[in-house]
Amino acid sequence: MNFLAHLYLSGNSGDIMTGNFIGDYIKGNRYLAYRDGIRRGILIHRKIDHFTDHHKAFLETKNYFRPVYSRYSGIAADVVFDYFLANNWPLFSEVSLSEFASYAHSALLKNFDILPDEVKRFLPIMIHNRRLESYATAEGIDTSLRIMSGYSSIPYRESFIPDLLSSRHDQLFHLFNQFMDDIIDFINENENLAIVRPVDQ
């Protein structure tokens, strides 16, 4: 999962959000250096990644991106799942995406001093550009993948993602919904965070 989904699957705790957000940057037992809430968020991040990497719907989604993204197809699928989450946000939260993003930004800024240096470098730009909200458009996630390709070996093909979302939208959205139903249940059962979709109430 990408940034928005990790934050969403953190419940309402700012510390858990922070830990979940920085999880990719904290390797091995370095999580032990953080206080309880952030430590828990880091461990939840790892559980989410493990669950995602083995889920049938996610594995099937990766196949759509493999021709262009090859071994990075999982990253492309992560970003596209963030698109579906942002684009269909009212199905997942009673709080608007803008309000949620602002709350997440506040939590991360409150903990700015303990963030890994790499996160400190990109977070201000991410907040300024309201990147979490930009995931709600195909162009927004296309831009995110283009930015990633600029500082990593992730390939980029202009318009591939928007075109794929246009031609395979229903199939991908179905896979996304299957996955989200299962991962929300997984987090609620294992972490007791009480993540409730409006449709479940």
pLDDT tens digits for range 41-65 = 999 999 999 999 999 999 999 999 9
- C-beta atoms surrounding 47 within 10 Å: 17
Report yes or no on 8 lying in a domain: no
**For tokens 């995406």, what's the residue?**
97
* CA-to-CA separations, 119 to 45, 75, 76, 93, in angstroms, rounded: 15, 18, 20, 26
pLDDT at 200: 64
Percentage of the chain surpassing pLDDT 90? Answer: 83
Q: What is the pTM of this model?
A: 0.95
Report yes or no on 142 lying in a domain: yes
Q: Provide the strand spans (E) within the chain.
A: none
- Domain extent, residue 184, equals 55-200
Report yes or no on 49 lying in a domain: no
Report yes or no on 42 lying in a domain: no
pLDDT at 130: 96
Report yes or no on 155 lying in a domain: yes
pLDDT at 99: 98
pLDDT at 1: 75
Count: domains in the chain: 1
> Is 119 a residue whose pLDDT tops 60?
yes
DSSP state, residue 2: -
Record the tokens describing residue 56, joined without a space.
Answer: 């049938």
> Is 176 a residue whose pLDDT tops 90?
yes
> Is 201 a residue whose pLDDT tops 80?
no
Report yes or no on 91 lying in a domain: yes
| pLDDT interval class at 150 (50, 70, 90) | confident
- The letter for the amino acid at 48 is I
Report yes or no on 138 lying in a domain: yes
pLDDT at 158: 81
pLDDT at 174: 98
pLDDT at 155: 87
Give Cα 83 distance to the centre of its chain: 9
Q: What is the pLDDT of residues 16-29, one digit of tens each?
A: 999 999 999 999 99
Report yes or no on 157 lying in a domain: yes
Q: How far apart are CA 96 and CA 127, in angstroms?
A: 16
